[in-house]
Structure 1
Protein backbone atom coordinates (compact mmCIF):
# COMPACT_ATOMS: atom_id res chain seq x y z
CA UNK A 1 0.00 0.00 0.00
CA UNK A 2 1.57 3.34 -0.98
CA UNK A 3 2.63 5.67 1.78
CA UNK A 4 0.46 8.73 2.24
CA UNK A 5 1.40 12.01 3.94
CA UNK A 6 -0.76 11.14 6.94
CA UNK A 7 1.36 8.05 7.61
CA UNK A 8 4.82 9.66 7.29
CA UNK A 9 5.26 11.74 10.41
CA UNK A 10 8.72 11.48 11.93
CA UNK A 11 10.35 10.35 8.67
CA UNK A 12 8.93 12.43 5.81
CA UNK A 13 9.67 10.56 2.61
CA UNK A 14 9.68 10.95 -1.15
CA UNK A 15 9.82 7.84 -3.31
CA UNK A 16 11.33 7.86 -6.77
CA UNK A 17 10.03 5.29 -9.30
CA UNK A 18 13.13 3.11 -8.87
CA UNK A 19 13.92 3.36 -5.18
CA UNK A 20 12.69 4.76 -1.91
CA UNK A 21 14.48 7.80 -0.52
CA UNK A 22 14.02 9.13 2.98
CA UNK A 23 15.37 12.25 4.64
CA UNK A 24 14.73 11.84 8.36
CA UNK A 25 14.22 15.02 10.32
CA UNK A 26 16.67 14.17 13.11
CA UNK A 27 19.74 11.98 13.50
CA UNK A 28 18.91 8.79 15.35
CA UNK A 29 20.97 5.60 15.55
CA UNK A 30 17.76 3.56 15.77
CA UNK A 31 16.74 4.69 12.28
CA UNK A 32 20.17 3.70 10.99
CA UNK A 33 19.97 0.30 12.70
CA UNK A 34 16.54 -0.44 11.27
CA UNK A 35 17.66 0.66 7.80
CA UNK A 36 20.59 -1.77 7.90
CA UNK A 37 18.31 -4.63 8.96
CA UNK A 38 15.72 -3.86 6.27
CA UNK A 39 18.58 -3.76 3.76
CA UNK A 40 19.49 -7.28 4.87
CA UNK A 41 15.93 -8.41 4.11
CA UNK A 42 15.73 -6.70 0.70
CA UNK A 43 16.72 -8.01 -2.71
CA UNK A 44 19.25 -5.71 -4.36
CA UNK A 45 21.51 -2.89 -3.21
CA UNK A 46 20.44 -0.54 -0.45
CA UNK A 47 22.46 2.65 -0.03
CA UNK A 48 22.63 4.58 3.24
CA UNK A 49 24.14 8.06 3.36
CA UNK A 50 25.34 9.78 6.56
CA UNK A 51 25.05 6.59 8.60
CA UNK A 52 26.36 7.34 12.12
CA UNK A 53 29.23 4.91 12.66
CA UNK A 54 28.58 4.20 16.32
CA UNK A 55 29.62 0.96 17.99
CA UNK A 56 26.00 -0.25 17.80
CA UNK A 57 25.78 0.46 14.07
CA UNK A 58 29.06 -1.35 13.38
CA UNK A 59 28.07 -4.34 15.52
CA UNK A 60 24.66 -4.62 13.86
CA UNK A 61 26.21 -4.38 10.40
CA UNK A 62 28.58 -7.22 11.30
CA UNK A 63 25.64 -9.30 12.59
CA UNK A 64 23.85 -8.76 9.25
CA UNK A 65 27.00 -9.89 7.41
CA UNK A 66 26.98 -13.07 9.48
CA UNK A 67 23.38 -13.68 8.38
CA UNK A 68 24.31 -13.42 4.70
CA UNK A 69 24.34 -9.74 3.68
CA UNK A 70 27.25 -8.19 1.78
CA UNK A 71 27.96 -4.82 3.41
CA UNK A 72 30.67 -2.34 2.55
CA UNK A 73 31.53 1.28 3.22
CA UNK A 74 32.12 3.09 -0.07
CA UNK A 75 34.85 5.65 -0.67
CA UNK A 76 32.30 8.49 -0.53
CA UNK A 77 31.31 7.44 3.01
CA UNK A 78 27.98 5.87 2.06
CA UNK A 79 27.15 2.29 3.00
CA UNK A 80 26.04 -0.35 0.48
CA UNK A 81 24.07 -3.41 1.54
CA UNK A 82 23.26 -6.33 -0.72
CA UNK A 83 20.54 -8.23 1.11
CA UNK A 84 19.36 -11.83 1.01
CA UNK A 85 15.63 -11.12 0.95
CA UNK A 86 12.87 -12.13 3.35
CA UNK A 87 13.30 -15.83 4.13
CA UNK A 88 16.88 -16.00 2.89
CA UNK A 89 18.93 -15.73 6.09
CA UNK A 90 21.88 -18.01 6.80
CA UNK A 91 22.42 -19.58 10.22
CA UNK A 92 25.44 -17.77 11.68
CA UNK A 93 28.44 -19.53 13.17
CA UNK A 94 29.34 -18.36 16.66
CA UNK A 95 27.63 -15.60 18.62
CA UNK A 96 26.32 -12.34 17.22
CA UNK A 97 28.03 -9.80 19.46
CA UNK A 98 25.97 -6.60 19.60
CA UNK A 99 28.36 -4.80 21.94
CA UNK A 100 26.34 -2.40 24.08
CA UNK A 101 23.47 -1.90 21.61
CA UNK A 102 20.14 -2.95 23.09
CA UNK A 103 18.35 -1.69 19.98
CA UNK A 104 20.62 -3.73 17.72
CA UNK A 105 20.06 -6.88 19.78
CA UNK A 106 16.26 -6.50 19.87
CA UNK A 107 16.01 -5.82 16.12
CA UNK A 108 18.23 -8.77 15.22
CA UNK A 109 16.16 -11.05 17.48
CA UNK A 110 13.06 -9.87 15.64
CA UNK A 111 14.63 -10.90 12.35
CA UNK A 112 15.84 -14.29 13.57
CA UNK A 113 12.52 -15.11 15.28
CA UNK A 114 10.71 -15.97 12.05
CA UNK A 115 13.49 -17.24 9.81
CA UNK A 116 14.13 -20.78 10.99
CA UNK A 117 17.74 -20.00 11.93
CA UNK A 118 19.40 -20.62 15.27
CA UNK A 119 21.37 -17.60 16.44
CA UNK A 120 23.23 -16.84 19.66
CA UNK A 121 23.27 -13.24 20.89
CA UNK A 122 25.80 -11.66 23.22
CA UNK A 123 27.12 -8.25 24.16
CA UNK A 124 29.18 -6.29 26.63
CA UNK A 125 28.42 -6.41 30.39
CA UNK A 126 26.04 -3.45 30.11
CA UNK A 127 23.92 -5.22 27.49
CA UNK A 128 24.11 -8.52 29.37
CA UNK A 129 22.57 -6.77 32.38
CA UNK A 130 19.57 -5.47 30.38
CA UNK A 131 16.24 -7.27 30.85
CA UNK A 132 15.60 -8.55 27.33
CA UNK A 133 12.57 -10.71 28.23
CA UNK A 134 9.87 -8.13 27.33
CA UNK A 135 11.03 -8.12 23.70
CA UNK A 136 10.87 -11.91 23.55
CA UNK A 137 7.23 -12.27 24.65
CA UNK A 138 5.66 -11.56 21.23
CA UNK A 139 8.49 -13.34 19.39
CA UNK A 140 7.94 -16.59 21.27
CA UNK A 141 4.21 -16.29 20.60
CA UNK A 142 5.10 -16.26 16.91
CA UNK A 143 6.97 -19.57 17.33
CA UNK A 144 10.53 -18.60 18.26
CA UNK A 145 12.14 -20.71 20.99
CA UNK A 146 14.63 -19.65 23.64
CA UNK A 147 17.18 -22.47 23.62
CA UNK A 148 19.52 -21.14 26.30
CA UNK A 149 19.89 -17.89 28.20
CA UNK A 150 21.61 -16.39 31.19
CA UNK A 151 19.67 -16.14 34.45
CA UNK A 152 16.59 -13.95 34.15
CA UNK A 153 16.37 -14.47 30.36
CA UNK A 154 19.32 -12.22 29.70
CA UNK A 155 22.23 -12.34 27.29
CA UNK A 156 24.06 -14.46 26.33
CA UNK A 157 20.99 -16.05 24.76
CA UNK A 158 20.36 -18.51 21.93
CA UNK A 159 17.16 -18.15 19.92
CA UNK A 160 15.76 -20.70 17.48
CA UNK A 161 13.55 -19.01 14.92
CA UNK A 162 10.28 -20.52 13.75
CA UNK A 163 10.35 -22.35 10.42
CA UNK A 164 6.72 -21.35 9.87
CA UNK A 165 6.09 -18.32 12.03
CA UNK A 166 2.59 -17.63 13.29
CA UNK A 167 1.16 -14.15 12.66
CA UNK A 168 -0.24 -12.68 15.86
CA UNK A 169 -2.28 -9.84 17.22
CA UNK A 170 -0.05 -8.26 19.86
CA UNK A 171 -1.52 -5.85 22.33
CA UNK A 172 1.35 -3.83 23.72
CA UNK A 173 1.27 -3.75 27.53
CA UNK A 174 0.29 -0.45 29.08
CA UNK A 175 2.39 1.38 31.63
CA UNK A 176 5.65 -0.17 30.43
CA UNK A 177 7.66 3.04 30.34
CA UNK A 178 10.13 1.77 32.94
CA UNK A 179 11.33 -0.93 30.53
CA UNK A 180 14.51 -0.09 28.61
CA UNK A 181 12.77 -1.52 25.52
CA UNK A 182 10.68 1.42 24.40
CA UNK A 183 7.47 1.05 22.35
CA UNK A 184 8.97 2.02 18.98
CA UNK A 185 11.75 -0.54 19.35
CA UNK A 186 9.34 -3.29 20.41
CA UNK A 187 7.05 -2.49 17.46
CA UNK A 188 9.98 -2.69 15.03
CA UNK A 189 11.02 -6.12 16.35
CA UNK A 190 7.50 -7.55 15.97
CA UNK A 191 7.12 -6.13 12.46
CA UNK A 192 10.50 -7.57 11.46
CA UNK A 193 9.36 -10.99 12.65
CA UNK A 194 6.05 -10.49 10.86
CA UNK A 195 7.80 -10.00 7.52
CA UNK A 196 8.37 -13.76 7.26
CA UNK A 197 5.02 -14.86 8.71
CA UNK A 198 2.08 -15.62 6.40
CA UNK A 199 -0.96 -13.37 6.58
CA UNK A 200 -1.34 -10.34 8.79
CA UNK A 201 0.69 -9.44 11.86
CA UNK A 202 -1.18 -6.87 13.94
CA UNK A 203 0.16 -4.62 16.68
CA UNK A 204 -2.10 -2.58 18.95
CA UNK A 205 0.13 0.26 20.13
CA UNK A 206 -0.11 3.69 21.77
CA UNK A 207 -1.30 6.44 19.46
CA UNK A 208 1.51 7.82 17.25
CA UNK A 209 3.91 5.04 18.27
CA UNK A 210 5.94 3.44 15.50
CA UNK A 211 5.85 6.33 13.00
CA UNK A 212 9.53 6.02 12.12
CA UNK A 213 9.38 2.23 11.67
CA UNK A 214 6.21 2.40 9.57
CA UNK A 215 7.77 4.93 7.22
CA UNK A 216 10.94 2.89 6.77
CA UNK A 217 9.07 -0.39 6.22
CA UNK A 218 6.99 1.30 3.52
CA UNK A 219 10.08 2.76 1.85
CA UNK A 220 11.37 -0.79 1.43
CA UNK A 221 8.06 -1.91 -0.08
CA UNK A 222 6.32 -3.52 2.89
CA UNK A 223 2.52 -3.29 3.03
CA UNK A 224 1.80 -1.60 6.36
CA UNK A 225 -1.57 -0.05 7.20
CA UNK A 226 -2.63 1.89 10.28
CA UNK A 227 -5.97 2.74 11.85
CA UNK A 228 -7.24 4.26 15.06
CA UNK A 229 -8.77 1.78 17.46
CA UNK A 230 -10.38 3.43 20.48
CA UNK A 231 -7.48 5.24 22.18
CA UNK A 232 -4.83 3.10 20.48
CA UNK A 233 -3.25 2.64 17.07
CA UNK A 234 -3.64 -0.55 15.05
CA UNK A 235 -0.67 -1.42 12.83
CA UNK A 236 -1.25 -4.17 10.25
CA UNK A 237 1.64 -5.73 8.29
CA UNK A 238 1.13 -8.11 5.36
CA UNK A 239 3.68 -10.90 5.62
CA UNK A 240 6.13 -12.35 3.11
CA UNK A 241 6.63 -9.41 0.77
CA UNK A 242 9.55 -9.04 -1.60
CA UNK A 243 11.28 -6.01 -0.14
CA UNK A 244 12.96 -3.69 -2.62
CA UNK A 245 16.17 -1.80 -1.90
CA UNK A 246 16.08 1.86 -0.90
CA UNK A 247 18.35 4.85 -0.77
CA UNK A 248 18.18 6.39 2.70
CA UNK A 249 19.78 9.73 3.54
CA UNK A 250 20.19 10.32 7.25
CA UNK A 251 20.83 13.91 8.36
CA UNK A 252 24.44 14.98 8.63
CA UNK A 253 25.76 15.33 12.16
CA UNK A 254 25.70 18.97 13.27
CA UNK A 255 28.86 20.14 15.08
CA UNK A 256 28.13 21.60 18.53
CA UNK A 257 27.94 25.36 18.74
CA UNK A 258 30.11 27.37 21.14
CA UNK A 259 27.09 27.65 23.43
CA UNK A 260 26.99 23.85 23.76
CA UNK A 261 30.66 23.48 24.68
Structure 2
Protein backbone atom coordinates (compact mmCIF):
# COMPACT_ATOMS: atom_id res chain seq x y z
CA UNK A 1 0.00 0.00 0.00
CA UNK A 2 1.39 3.38 -0.99
CA UNK A 3 1.65 6.09 1.69
CA UNK A 4 -0.78 8.99 1.49
CA UNK A 5 1.18 11.98 0.22
CA UNK A 6 -1.44 14.41 -1.10
CA UNK A 7 -0.87 17.54 0.99
CA UNK A 8 -4.17 19.04 -0.18
CA UNK A 9 -6.20 16.41 1.69
CA UNK A 10 -7.85 17.95 4.74
CA UNK A 11 -10.00 16.48 7.44
CA UNK A 12 -12.52 18.65 9.22
CA UNK A 13 -15.49 18.08 11.47
CA UNK A 14 -16.45 17.33 15.00
CA UNK A 15 -16.27 14.11 16.89
CA UNK A 16 -18.46 13.32 19.87
CA UNK A 17 -17.30 10.34 21.89
CA UNK A 18 -19.97 8.50 23.90
CA UNK A 19 -19.89 8.99 27.65
CA UNK A 20 -17.43 6.85 29.60
CA UNK A 21 -18.52 5.30 32.90
CA UNK A 22 -15.21 5.79 34.72
CA UNK A 23 -14.86 9.41 33.69
CA UNK A 24 -18.55 10.08 34.38
CA UNK A 25 -18.21 8.97 38.04
CA UNK A 26 -15.18 11.19 38.51
CA UNK A 27 -16.72 14.19 36.72
CA UNK A 28 -19.73 14.09 39.05
CA UNK A 29 -17.52 13.75 42.14
CA UNK A 30 -15.11 16.53 41.15
CA UNK A 31 -18.04 18.81 40.31
CA UNK A 32 -19.63 18.07 43.69
CA UNK A 33 -16.40 18.91 45.51
CA UNK A 34 -15.82 22.13 43.57
CA UNK A 35 -17.15 25.40 44.89
CA UNK A 36 -19.73 26.87 42.54
CA UNK A 37 -21.37 25.62 39.38
CA UNK A 38 -19.67 23.13 37.07
CA UNK A 39 -20.99 22.42 33.58
CA UNK A 40 -20.53 18.79 32.57
CA UNK A 41 -21.18 17.27 29.14
CA UNK A 42 -21.39 13.69 27.97
CA UNK A 43 -22.20 11.92 31.24
CA UNK A 44 -23.01 8.26 30.65
CA UNK A 45 -26.43 7.67 32.27
CA UNK A 46 -25.65 4.09 33.33
CA UNK A 47 -27.05 2.50 36.50
CA UNK A 48 -23.64 2.79 38.20
CA UNK A 49 -23.32 6.50 37.40
CA UNK A 50 -26.92 7.00 38.57
CA UNK A 51 -25.82 5.44 41.90
CA UNK A 52 -23.00 7.97 42.23
CA UNK A 53 -25.42 10.82 41.48
CA UNK A 54 -27.89 9.50 44.08
CA UNK A 55 -25.22 9.22 46.77
CA UNK A 56 -24.03 12.76 46.06
CA UNK A 57 -27.62 14.02 46.32
CA UNK A 58 -27.98 12.27 49.70
CA UNK A 59 -24.80 14.06 50.81
CA UNK A 60 -26.44 17.41 50.00
CA UNK A 61 -25.09 18.13 46.51
CA UNK A 62 -27.51 19.60 43.96
CA UNK A 63 -27.15 17.03 41.17
CA UNK A 64 -29.90 17.25 38.53
CA UNK A 65 -31.18 14.27 36.60
CA UNK A 66 -28.39 13.02 34.35
CA UNK A 67 -28.42 14.65 30.91
CA UNK A 68 -26.06 15.27 28.00
CA UNK A 69 -25.31 18.75 29.36
CA UNK A 70 -25.89 19.49 33.01
CA UNK A 71 -24.87 21.90 35.74
CA UNK A 72 -23.89 20.74 39.20
CA UNK A 73 -23.84 23.19 42.10
CA UNK A 74 -20.85 22.04 44.12
CA UNK A 75 -20.59 23.02 47.75
CA UNK A 76 -16.91 22.31 48.31
CA UNK A 77 -15.44 19.53 50.41
CA UNK A 78 -16.72 21.08 53.64
CA UNK A 79 -20.24 21.43 52.26
CA UNK A 80 -21.10 17.74 52.29
CA UNK A 81 -23.54 16.75 55.02
CA UNK A 82 -24.24 13.52 56.87
CA UNK A 83 -27.10 11.80 55.04
CA UNK A 84 -30.45 11.08 56.65
CA UNK A 85 -30.44 7.53 55.27
CA UNK A 86 -28.03 4.83 54.14
CA UNK A 87 -26.17 5.59 50.91
CA UNK A 88 -27.39 3.08 48.33
CA UNK A 89 -24.65 2.28 45.81
CA UNK A 90 -26.73 -0.34 43.99
CA UNK A 91 -24.24 -2.60 42.21
CA UNK A 92 -21.58 0.09 41.78
CA UNK A 93 -18.28 -0.75 43.44
CA UNK A 94 -16.86 2.45 41.98
CA UNK A 95 -19.52 4.51 43.78
CA UNK A 96 -18.87 2.77 47.11
CA UNK A 97 -15.09 2.87 46.90
CA UNK A 98 -14.58 6.37 45.53
CA UNK A 99 -17.25 8.01 47.66
CA UNK A 100 -16.10 6.31 50.86
CA UNK A 101 -12.80 8.15 50.36
CA UNK A 102 -14.62 11.42 49.74
CA UNK A 103 -16.73 11.03 52.89
CA UNK A 104 -13.69 9.99 54.94
CA UNK A 105 -11.95 13.28 54.21
CA UNK A 106 -14.97 15.57 54.07
CA UNK A 107 -16.37 15.11 57.57
CA UNK A 108 -19.80 13.47 57.36
CA UNK A 109 -20.65 10.09 58.81
CA UNK A 110 -22.34 7.76 56.34
CA UNK A 111 -23.31 4.11 55.97
CA UNK A 112 -22.76 2.67 52.50
CA UNK A 113 -25.04 -0.11 51.28
CA UNK A 114 -25.30 -2.06 48.06
CA UNK A 115 -27.19 -4.85 46.41
CA UNK A 116 -26.43 -8.48 47.24
CA UNK A 117 -23.65 -8.73 44.66
CA UNK A 118 -21.89 -5.53 45.75
CA UNK A 119 -22.21 -6.49 49.41
CA UNK A 120 -20.02 -9.54 48.72
CA UNK A 121 -17.24 -7.55 47.04
CA UNK A 122 -14.15 -6.57 49.05
CA UNK A 123 -14.02 -3.15 50.67
CA UNK A 124 -10.93 -3.68 52.80
CA UNK A 125 -8.82 -2.58 49.84
CA UNK A 126 -10.12 0.95 50.47
CA UNK A 127 -10.51 0.56 54.23
CA UNK A 128 -6.81 -0.10 54.87
CA UNK A 129 -5.34 2.96 53.13
CA UNK A 130 -8.05 5.25 54.48
CA UNK A 131 -7.39 4.03 58.02
CA UNK A 132 -3.66 4.57 57.46
CA UNK A 133 -4.55 8.21 56.72
CA UNK A 134 -6.51 8.48 59.97
CA UNK A 135 -10.05 7.65 58.88
CA UNK A 136 -12.33 5.40 60.89
CA UNK A 137 -14.37 2.81 59.01
CA UNK A 138 -16.50 -0.12 60.09
CA UNK A 139 -16.80 -2.85 57.46
CA UNK A 140 -19.02 -5.92 57.74
CA UNK A 141 -17.49 -9.11 59.14
CA UNK A 142 -17.18 -10.44 55.59
CA UNK A 143 -15.14 -7.40 54.52
CA UNK A 144 -17.87 -5.99 52.27
CA UNK A 145 -20.85 -3.72 52.65
CA UNK A 146 -22.45 -2.38 54.70
CA UNK A 147 -19.62 -0.04 55.59
CA UNK A 148 -19.83 2.97 57.87
CA UNK A 149 -17.39 5.82 57.31
CA UNK A 150 -16.80 8.36 60.05
CA UNK A 151 -15.40 11.41 58.27
CA UNK A 152 -12.69 13.62 59.65
CA UNK A 153 -9.27 15.06 58.93
CA UNK A 154 -6.88 12.82 57.01
CA UNK A 155 -3.12 12.88 56.78
CA UNK A 156 -0.92 12.15 53.80
CA UNK A 157 0.59 8.68 53.57
CA UNK A 158 2.72 6.75 51.13
CA UNK A 159 0.83 3.60 50.20
CA UNK A 160 2.04 0.52 48.34
CA UNK A 161 -1.03 -1.16 46.92
CA UNK A 162 -0.93 -4.96 47.00
CA UNK A 163 -3.80 -5.25 44.52
CA UNK A 164 -4.55 -3.52 41.24
CA UNK A 165 -7.41 -1.11 41.77
CA UNK A 166 -8.09 2.11 39.90
CA UNK A 167 -10.56 2.99 42.65
CA UNK A 168 -7.93 2.80 45.39
CA UNK A 169 -5.55 4.91 43.31
CA UNK A 170 -8.28 7.49 42.77
TM-score by length of 2: 0.83
Gaps of 5+ in 1: 1-22, 189-261
- Measure how far apart 1:161 and its partner are: 1.4
Q: Does 1:118 align with 2:109?
A: yes
Report the RMSD for the aligned CA atoms in angstroms.
Answer: 2.0
After superposition, the Cα gap between the structure-2 partners of 1:43 and 1:131, relative to the gap in structure 1 and judged at 3 Å, is same
Aligned residues: 156
For the 8 Å contact 2:42–2:68, the answer to whether it is kept is yes
Q: Does 1:51 align with 2:43?
A: yes
- Partner of residue 99, structure 1: 90
For the 8 Å contact 2:19–2:42, the answer to whether it is kept is no
- Partner of residue 154, structure 1: 144
The CA distance in 1 between the partners of 2:80 and 2:96, in whole Å, is 16
More strand by share: 1
Gaps of 5+ in 2: 1-14
For the 8 Å contact 1:143–1:161, the answer to whether it is kept is no
Q: 2:52 aligns with which of 60, 75, 94?
A: 60
Q: Secondary structure at the match of 1:126?
A: helix
- Partner of residue 167, structure 2: 185
For the 8 Å contact 1:45–1:81, the answer to whether it is kept is yes
More helix by share: 2
Whose Rg is larger?
2
- Measure how far apart 1:146 and its partner are: 1.7
Comparing both chains, which one has the higher relative contact order based on Cα–Cα distances under 8 Å and sequence gaps of 6 or more? 1
Q: Secondary structure at the match of 2:23?
A: helix
